[in-house]
């Protein structure tokens, strides 16, 4: 334990674990561990049965009590799928998939044109279900997993040693990945809970790097492999698809919005949880475009946790509980920052779900990202948050839900309506909405504030105060001269906001990274400024001649937004927020 | 089990034996198998059970036999049988304290309906929010409307609103409280219903003060309409639906309490306007006047957020500074007018 970090870590009660010199939880060892086998390991053997169950259930759900006929469901899906396929651009990796899709939907189309006595609608319906199920259903290959867990750290370490200038200093040679990746938070708790029930890990999402990183963190924590829904688009990325193929990922295609697909996907992820397979969902939907921590969460997938638990209780599963564990990753620089913020700011951003041409598609950029990461002073902080039950109540290490005033909550009671444990659509929707609200709150509270975010925030807010009449879009377009400020002014603001986040940390509303330990404002400001600019060629905030300026207002706004949602801005009380994210 | 059978065979706990709590207990007893009403005072509990009348608060109402009063919480929440619904009828000032104390009796599957018109002083938290924070049970709703307890007790036709995010809670409220002279409307705008019930208490004080001056219908109509506009403005800032204020819980309640001397807030306003001192009035009143506390909390918040609430401001000065109504009315009338005002 570095003595000087003691009192500066955060409020003393919150981080009672003693972190080692690496900054990670002491139980995290950056060495090769034996792979822990979990239920996912046997997924491939039970896969066909599982997919059949899921398609059967989906058919029953859709056709059972709904008024919609098979013709209606098929026609709607046909219309939407044809429209999607017409819009879709292909590359070498996706051409075959598009062909197959066309083949299916042409067949459905000609089938629907014939009389039901000639072409059985149920057969068409089953074809669609089968087609989707095959697309969604993940594979898990223990060999690939084993291989990846060896390769990832090896690759990381190689890059680290190659990239770090300090490799020339022999006594620093032992320093490796662990100084760049800090894993902190409720690690013993998540390990214990993984034994007591099924874990639903819900991280914030900033970069396509996340999936790889999180997979590696799970492995380092000594947990069995997790299943997760990865965007279908990622599978067409040669770099990323390599990591995902055999790692238990199932595919999610957000461009498919017809009820058959959505229902099937939901049933699949519910079923995975019911099988006791720990899963990862990104509840924000996609990567955060603005750079801010997610506040509006996609409730559909979150709801599968509740559904799985209800089914588990009804069928008397020995370990019915599902535990929701938030996770917040803090990056000094995000690979795709430029594309994301531009997407957020452009009108088109509201309609585009998937960016197919951002930095994470360019191997050189990815390489450059890691190179910069490992040559930097400080790296990525990854915090495992306090685990909750599916209603958003905290749980203790035995998986008991803690209610207000020292009461223990029995989830069975919360799921009882008129004397019976049943699924109740309206009630459950409300439970999930509440979980979403609590989760968004936890995301903010589990966030680790790092120096670069505070630099971006302080500088941006100083500019905003300089030009109080400008709305967001006009402020983003001020000239270089206008966005150059005296260092003293910016430092004063930095000190001011530092005090504010300090107060929030003391209240338990966020965490401060130990690198913010220095009471010397200039020092942490300089550190943050260096880390922040590192990945972006022009830098984000720069300093010299007693002035501070920014080369890129968009990027500045992106990194500044990480501290939105805390009410830190002095301008946020204004009724007219002028488009700023506060 | 059908919905109706379930509630017919259910047990209901009523927390608080004030006038409205007692009347609600009686209403519920007509639709379920047993109502246990919690009375803090042992003597009053004995008296209610012996005479079937809550002499202190609703002497005119003879309670149904299925209503039993208890001063012992263990008996109200009797672990062996349990209750399916809890009706919460305590003043907002003790809401936090009492819910904290009662938390351990809740199991998690009981549906909670509260009938408190007020908010937590200082924090601006609605009663359902306080209950949610303190009780280990999630399904909570609110009962609110133009319901002067004594009129409901004498079976005059009336209606109320039950609002909750959970349809189950609304259905329970309808099943338990409906009768031939009492009609229950469903709603889901919990924020709107709770704020409407709270804000109208401020206007009830204003209304009492106005009547003390012997002013006529024009003045009263002006007060009610402009007061309603303030309620809507504030409510929407809190996240309520505008339309809720046009319903029973909004304008309905405002009309009932804004002109009835059965309303405690109205009586406070009337006596303040006549120059009496607030502490003396509250001492005489015997029971709570929610509006007095609410006025300060709401006014201060509105000030900080820049929500325009001139009438609330005047009531604040009346209650807090003992300003005279003779000065307040001209200052309201002479406000600069703005074209944009709704």
**What pLDDT does B4 receive?**
75
Q: Which of B1, B104, B109 to mutate to test the interface with A (most CBs of A within 10 A)?
A: B109
Residue of chain B with shortest Cα separation from A435: B138
pTM: 0.87
ipTM of the complex: 0.90
**Contact between chains at A427 and B167 (C-beta distance less than 8 A):** yes
What are the structure tokens assigned to A482, written together?
């206008």
Residue of chain A with shortest Cα separation from B1: A418
Give CA torsion, residues B215, B220, B226, B232, to 10 deg: 140
**What pLDDT does A199 receive?**
95
**C-beta of residue B262 within 8 angstroms of C-beta of residue B287:** no
Pick the CATH number of B192-333 from 2.30.110.10, 1.10.1040.10, 1.10.1530.10, 3.40.50.1370: 1.10.1040.10
Residues from chain A that touch B305, judged by Cβ atoms under 8 A, are 575
Residues from chain A that touch B191, judged by Cβ atoms under 8 A, are none
Containing H/E element for B149?
A: helix B149-153
The answer to whether A405 contacts chain B (CB < 8 Å) is: yes
Please give the Cα distance from B230 to B309 (Å, whole number).
6
Please identify which residue in the block is written with the tokens 């319901």. B147
Residues from chain B that touch A417, judged by Cβ atoms under 8 A, are 109, 168
**Contact between chains at A409 and B108 (C-beta distance less than 8 A):** yes
**What pLDDT does B1 receive?**
62
Calculate helix-pair angle for A121-136, A70-87, nearest 10 degrees.
Answer: 50
Measured between its terminal Cα atoms, the distance across chain B in Å is 50
Picking from B100, B137, B165, the nearest residue to A430 by CB comes out as B165
Q: Which residues of B are catalytic?
A: 200
Residues from chain A that touch B103, judged by Cβ atoms under 8 A, are 403-407
**Contact between chains at B108 and A434 (C-beta distance less than 8 A):** no
User: Topology of domain B3-188, per CATH?
Assistant: Rossmann fold (3.40.50)
CA distance B215 to chain A (A): 37
**Contact between chains at A416 and B168 (C-beta distance less than 8 A):** no
**C-beta of residue B245 within 8 angstroms of C-beta of residue B342:** no
- Of A363-372, B96-105, B149-158, where does mean pLDDT reach its minimum? A363-372
- pLDDT tens for the 582 residues of chain A, in order: 333 333 433 444 444 444 545 577 877 776 666 666 677 777 777 788 888 899 999 988 888 765 568 888 899 999 999 999 998 887 777 788 889 999 999 999 999 998 888 888 888 999 999 999 888 876 666 666 666 666 665 555 544 444 444 444 333 433 556 667 889 999 999 999 999 999 999 999 998 778 778 888 888 888 888 888 777 766 666 555 655 655 667 888 888 888 899 999 999 989 989 989 899 888 887 888 889 999 889 888 889 999 999 999 999 999 999 999 999 999 888 888 888 888 888 854 444 445 556 666 666 777 777 666 666 656 789 999 999 999 999 999 899 999 998 889 999 999 999 989 999 999 999 999 999 999 999 999 999 999 999 999 999 999 999 998 888 888 888 999 999 999 999 999 999 999 999 999 999 999 998 888 777 888 889 888 888 877 777 778 888 889 999 988 999 999 999 999 898 887 765 555 678 887
Per the DSSP assignment, residues forming a β-bridge with B162 are: B143, B186
The answer to whether A174 contacts chain B (CB < 8 Å) is: no
Residues from chain B that touch A409, judged by Cβ atoms under 8 A, are 108, 136
**What pLDDT does A68 receive?**
62
Q: Is a pLDDT exceeding 50 seen at residue B100?
A: yes
Distances (CA, A) of A423 to A417, A426, B185: 9, 9, 26
**Contact between chains at B134 and A407 (C-beta distance less than 8 A):** no
Containing H/E element for A312?
A: helix A299-314
**Contact between chains at A403 and B136 (C-beta distance less than 8 A):** yes
CA distance A424 to chain B (A): 9
Residue of chain A with shortest Cα separation from B100: A405
Q: Which of A37-51, A281-295, B31-45, B251-265 has the highest mean pLDDT?
A: B31-45
**What pLDDT does A229 receive?**
77
**What pLDDT does A135 receive?**
84
Q: Which of A391, A404, A434 to mutate to test the interface with B (most CBs of B within 10 A)?
A: A404
Please give the Cα distance from B248 to B145 (Å, whole number).
5
Residues from chain B that touch A403, judged by Cβ atoms under 8 A, are 103, 108, 135-136
Please give the Cα distance from A418 to A458 (Å, whole number).
54
Chain segment B169-190, per-residue pLDDT in tens: 999 999 999 999 999 999 999 9
Q: Kindly list the residues of chain B whose beta carbon comes within 8 Å of any beta carbon in chain A.
A: 1, 3, 6, 100, 103-104, 106-109, 133-139, 165-168, 305-306
Residue of chain A with shortest Cα separation from B82: A419
Q: DSSP string spanning B67-107?
A: EEEES-HHHHT-TTT--SEEEE---GGGHHHHHHHHGGG--
Residue of chain B with shortest Cα separation from A406: B104
> Which 8-state DSSP code applies to residue A235?
G
**C-beta of residue A325 within 8 angstroms of C-beta of residue A193:** yes
Q: Give the mean model confidence (pLDDT) for residues B60-88.
A: 92
**C-beta of residue A322 within 8 angstroms of C-beta of residue A301:** no
| Spans of all domains in chain B | 3-188, 192-333
């Amino acid at each position: 334990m570095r003595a000087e970090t003691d009192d500066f870590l955060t409020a003393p009660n919150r981080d009672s674990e003693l972190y080692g010199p690496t900054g990670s939880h002491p139980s995290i060892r950056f060495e090769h561990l034996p792979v822990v086998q979990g239920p996912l390991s046997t997924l491939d053997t039970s896969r066909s049965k599982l997919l059949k169950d899921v398609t059967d259930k989906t058919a029953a759900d859709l056709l059972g009590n709904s008024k919609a006929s098979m013709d209606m469901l098929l026609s709607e899906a046909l219309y939407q799928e044809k429209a999607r396929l017409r819009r879709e651009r292909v590359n070498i990796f996706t051409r075959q998939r598009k062909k197959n899709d066309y083949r299916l939907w042409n067949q459905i189309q000609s089938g629907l044109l014939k009389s039901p006595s000639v072409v059985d609608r149920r057969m068409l319906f089953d074809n669609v279900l089968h087609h989707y199920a095959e697309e969604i259903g993940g594979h898990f290959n223990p060999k690939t997993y084993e291989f990846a867990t060896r390769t990832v750290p090896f690759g990381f370490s190689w890059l680290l040693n190659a990239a770090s200038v300090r490799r020339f200093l022999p006594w620093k040679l032992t320093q490796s990945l662990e100084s760049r990746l800090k894993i902190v938070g409720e690690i013993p708790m998540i390990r214990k809970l993984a034994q007591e029930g099924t874990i639903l890990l819900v991280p914030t999402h900033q970069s396509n790097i996340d999936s790889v990183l999180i997979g590696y963190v799970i492995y380092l924590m000594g947990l069995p492999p997790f299943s997760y829904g990865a965007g279908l688009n990622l599978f067409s990325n040669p770099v990323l698809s390599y990591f995902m193929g055999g790692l238990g990922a199932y595919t999610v295609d957000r461009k498919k919005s017809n009820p058959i697909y959505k229902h099937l996907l939901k049933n699949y992820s519910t079923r995975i949880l019911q099988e006791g397979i720990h899963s990862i969902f990104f509840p924000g939907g996609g990567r955060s475009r603005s750079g801010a921590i997610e506040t509006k969460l996609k409730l559909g997938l979150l709801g599968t946790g509740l559904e799985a638990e209800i089914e588990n209780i009804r069928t008397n599963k020995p370990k019915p509980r599902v535990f929701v564990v938030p996770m917040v990753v803090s990056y000094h620089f995000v690979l795709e920052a430029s594309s994301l913020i531009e997407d957020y700011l452009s009108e088109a951003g509201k309609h585009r779900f998937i960016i197919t041409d951002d930095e994470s598609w360019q191997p050189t950029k990815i390489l450059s990202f890691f190179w910069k990461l490992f040559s930097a002073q400080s790296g990525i902080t990854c915090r495992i948050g306090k685990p909750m039950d599916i209603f958003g109540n905290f749980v203790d290490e035995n998986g008991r839900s803690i209610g207000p005033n020292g009461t223990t909550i029995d989830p069975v009671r919360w799921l009882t309506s008129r004397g019976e444990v049943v699924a109740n659509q309206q009630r459950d929707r409300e439970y999930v909405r509440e979980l979403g609200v609590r989760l968004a709150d936890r995301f903010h509270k589990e966030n680790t504030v790092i120096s670069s975010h505070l630099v971006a925030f302080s500088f941006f807010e100083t500019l905003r105060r300089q030009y109080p009449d400008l709305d967001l879009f006009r402020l983003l377009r001020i000239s270089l001269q206008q966005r150059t400020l005296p260092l003293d002014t910016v430092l004063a603001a930095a000190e001011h906001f530092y005090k504010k986040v300090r107060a929030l940390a003391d209240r338990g509303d966020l965490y401060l990274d130990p690198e913010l330990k220095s009471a010397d404002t200039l020092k942490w400001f300089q550190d943050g400024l260096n880390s922040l600019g590192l990945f972006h060629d022009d830098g984000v905030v720069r300093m010299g001649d007693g002035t501070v300026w920014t080369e890129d207002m968009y990027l500045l706004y992106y990194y500044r937004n990480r501290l939105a949602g805390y009410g830190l801005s002095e301008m946020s009380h204004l009724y007219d927020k002028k488009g700023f994210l506060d | 089990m059908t919905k109706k059978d379930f509630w017919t065979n259910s047990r209901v706990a009523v927390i608080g034996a004030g006038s409205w709590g007692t009347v609600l207990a009686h209403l519920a007893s007509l639709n379920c198998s047993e109502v246990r009403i919690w009375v803090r005072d042992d003597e009053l509990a004995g008296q209610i059970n012996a005479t079937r009348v809550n002499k202190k608060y609703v002497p005119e109402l003879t309670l149904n036999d299925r209503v039993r009063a208890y001063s012992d919480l263990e008996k109200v929440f009797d672990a062996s049988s349990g209750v399916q619904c809890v009706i919460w009828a305590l003043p907002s000032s003790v809401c936090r304290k009492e819910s904290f104390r009662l938390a351990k009796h809740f199991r998690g599957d009981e549906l909670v309906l509260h009938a408190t018109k007020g908010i937590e002083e200082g924090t601006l938290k609605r009663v359902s929010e306080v209950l949610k924070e303190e009780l280990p049970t999630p399904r909570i709703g609110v009962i609110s409307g133009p319901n002067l307890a004594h009129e409901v007790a004498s079976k005059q036709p009336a209606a109320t609103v039950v609002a909750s995010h959970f349809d189950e809670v609304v259905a329970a409220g309808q099943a338990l409280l409906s009768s031939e002279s009492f009609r229950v409307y469903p709603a889901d705008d919990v924020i709107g219903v709770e704020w409407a019930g709270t804000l109208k208490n401020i206007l009830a004080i204003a209304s009492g003060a106005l009547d003390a001056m012997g002013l006529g219908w024009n003045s009263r109509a002006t007060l009610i309409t402009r007061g309603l506009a303030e309620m809507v403005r504030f409510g929407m800032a809190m996240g309520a639906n505008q339309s809720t204020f046009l319903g029973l819980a909004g304008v309905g309640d405002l009309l009932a309490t804004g002109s009835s001397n059965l309303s405690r807030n109205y009586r406070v306003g009337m006596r303040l306007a006549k120059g009496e001192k607030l502490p003396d009035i509250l001492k005489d009143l015997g029971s709570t006047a929610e509006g007095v506390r609410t006025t300060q909390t709401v006014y201060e918040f509105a000030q900080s957020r820049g929500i325009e609430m001139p009438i609330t401001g005047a009531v604040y000065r009346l209650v807090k500074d003992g300003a005279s109504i003779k000065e307040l009315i001209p200052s309201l009338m002479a406000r600069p007018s703005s074209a944009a005002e709704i």
